[in-house]
Amino acid sequence: MNTLLSVEDLTVEFKVSNGKFKAPDGVSFKILENECVGMVGESGSGKSVTALAIMGLVPKPQGKIVKGRIIFEGKDLLKFNNHPRGTKISMVFQNPLNSLNPNMKIGKQLSEVLEQHYGMSYKEAIGKVTAMMKQLGIPEPEEMIERYPFEYSGGMRQRAMIAMAMLCHPKLLIADEPTTALDVTIQAQIIQLFKKLKLESKTSIFFISHDLSVVSQIADRVIVMYAGKICEISKTEEIFEKPLHPYTAGLISSIPDMKERKTKLRSIEGSVPSLIDPPAGCRFHPRCSQKMPLCMEKEPDDFSVNDRIVKCWLYKGVYQ
């Protein structure tokens, strides 16, 4: 399959009152056509900033892309001044209530996308809007377009957000923690919806979550982030079967598993390091149970193991 998006050595630097730091820091990955790629990692690891960088919306003036390329359909988005956001690349955010304009009807908020990009009138656009809303499981869309965000339930708001993102049939849909703000049953419905999108549309999905169990339900491949760096990229089945990076292994063993009735839930010892003054060598070494002297000195390279990528000295010289 063809590569749709290729992120190469992406580095975003933030200047804050007590110093500066990089998150993401030299991140590279690819998203293929029709593929769903998940990204997991603890809070502050740089997932959202990676997504915003692809959108060309890194928060200014604190953040700045200092290195890297983002190649989409063969063009470097960082050099291209006609960013395809809203058309070929669209994004869904974590909190649908805050992400919608509180004083504008949902119908208008959706139709303005078509008005902007296809020069349609409201009348022309709204037909497509209701069709898309219906397709994404919003009942009675003809009536719902006249409503304001606060009149929607949390799940319906997120459906409306997704409908908005899908209106122009994007090549890439970025979903940044789209289920995190929702309660569990609604969360399951939205995940179902993403699965449906994945099957029925030609859109690639970049799905971000701090919850590996959510990502595993829809992603073909998973990227694991830790403190601004990627530690592992693997196919979803493989990562559960045999996690390579000790951090990934820690994440998996801390997922509660109902079927196996694990009595002990393990969590990873320690806490995320400060990005302003990160540990030398591998950033995970202070929390790693398998650390070696080398890990404290030198940052690991990206090692390929089969089709997988892992940033860990344990895999030096392992070519299976």
Ligand X SMILES: Nc1ncnc2c1ncn2[C@@H]1O[C@H](COP(=O)(O)OP(=O)(O)OP(=O)(O)O)[C@@H](O)[C@H]1O
Q: What residue ranges bind ligand X (CB under 6 A)?
A: 14, 16, 23, 41, 43-49, 59, 62-63, 210, 275
The binder of other proteins chosen from 4, 58, 106, 113 (CB under 8 A): 113
Choosing from 35, 37, 46, 48, the residue that interacts with Mg ion (CB under 5 A) is 48
176 vs 232, which CB is nearer to other proteins?
176
- By CB under 8 A, residue 294 contacts other proteins: no
- In the complex, which residue's CB is closest to ligand X? 48
Q: Is 164 in the site for other proteins (CB under 8 A)?
A: yes
The piece of 145-153, 201-209, 220-228, 280-288 that touches other proteins (CB under 8 A) is 145-153
Q: How far is the CB of 127 from other proteins (least distance, A)?
A: 19
Q: Which is nearer to other proteins, 43 or 289 (CB)?
A: 43
**β-pair partners for 13:** 22, 64
Q: Is 119 in the site for other proteins (CB under 8 A)?
A: no
Q: Taking CB under 8 A as the criterion, which residues in 43-82 touch other proteins?
A: 55, 57, 61
Q: Assess contact for 208 and 47: CB atoms under 8 A.
A: yes
d(CA 198, CA 201): 6
Shortest Å, Cβ 95 to Mg ion? 11
First-residue to last-residue Cα distance in the chain: 24
Beta carbon nearer to ligand X, 48 or 203: 48
Q: Which does 43 bind (CB under 5 to 8 A by kind): Mg ion, ligand X, other proteins, none?
A: ligand X
**CB atoms near residue 3 (< 10 Å):** 14
Among the listed residues 21, 93, 194, 303, the single contact to other proteins using CB under 8 A: 93
203 binds Mg ion, rule: CB under 5 A: no
- Min dist CB 34 to ligand X, Å, is 25
What span, in angstroms and rounded, lies between the C-alpha atoms of 99 and 53?
Answer: 18
Query: Phi, psi (5° rounding) for residue 296?
Result: -85, -15
Contact, 268 vs 284, CB < 8 A? no
Which member of 116, 121, 153, 306 binds other proteins (CB under 8 A)?
116
Residue 130: in which H helix or E strand, if any? helix 122-135
For residue 85, give the DSSP letter: B
Contact between 205 and other proteins by CB under 8 A: the answer reads no
Contact segment (CB under 8 A) with other proteins among 93-101, 212-220, 238-246, 247-255 equals 93-101
Among 35, 112, 177, 232, which residue interacts with other proteins (rule: CB under 8 A)? Answer: 112
Q: Cα–Cα distance between 232 and 225 in angstroms, integer?
A: 7
- 49 touches 64 (CB < 8 A): no
**Least distance in angstroms from the C-beta of 20 to other proteins:** 18
50 binds Mg ion (CB under 5 A): no
Q: What is the CA radius of gyration of the chain?
A: 20
Dihedral (CA of 134, 137, 142, 147) sign = negative
Q: Are 295 and 313 in contact (CB under 8 A)?
A: yes
100 binds other proteins (CB under 8 A): yes
In whole angstroms, what is the distance from residue 110 CA to residue 140 CA?
A: 16
Cα dihedral across residues 85, 139, 180, 29: positive or negative? negative
Q: From CA 26, how far away is CA 302, in angstroms rounded?
A: 11
- What is the C-alpha to C-alpha distance for residues 159 and 314, in angstroms, rounded to an integer? 43
Positions in the binding site for other proteins (CB under 8 A): 55, 57, 61, 83-87, 90-91, 93, 95, 98-105, 112-113, 116-117, 148, 150-151, 161, 164
